[in-house]
Amino acid sequence: MPTDNSHLPDGSQEQDPVTTSSNNSLHNAEEPGAEQENGICDSDLDNSIRVSNSTSQSSTSMDVPLEVLRRGQPLLQINRQQIQSISDSAQAAELKGLGVDVYDQDVLEQGVLQQVDNAINEANKAAKIADAEKEYQSVLDDIR
Is the pLDDT reported for residue 117 higher than 50?
A: yes
Please indicate, yes or no, if residue 119 is contained in any of the structural domains. Answer: yes
Please indicate, yes or no, if residue 106 is contained in any of the structural domains. Answer: yes
Please indicate, yes or no, if residue 6 is contained in any of the structural domains. Answer: no
Measured between its terminal Cα atoms, the distance across the chain in Å is 58
Sheet of 76-79: strands edge to edge? 40-43, 48-51, 76-79
> Is the pLDDT higher at 65 or at 121?
121
Please indicate, yes or no, if residue 1 is contained in any of the structural domains. Answer: no
Is the pLDDT reported for residue 57 higher than 50?
A: no
pLDDT digits (tens, 9 = 90+) for 84-100: 998 888 888 888 888 88
Q: How far apart are the C-alpha atoms of 60 and 121, rounded to whole Å?
A: 8
SS3 assignment, position 77: strand
Q: How many domains does the chain have?
A: 1
Please indicate, yes or no, if residue 2 is contained in any of the structural domains. Answer: no
Domain containing 114 equals 12-143
Please indicate, yes or no, if residue 80 is contained in any of the structural domains. Answer: yes
Please indicate, yes or no, if residue 7 is contained in any of the structural domains. Answer: no
Please indicate, yes or no, if residue 125 is contained in any of the structural domains. Answer: yes
pTM for this prediction: 0.47
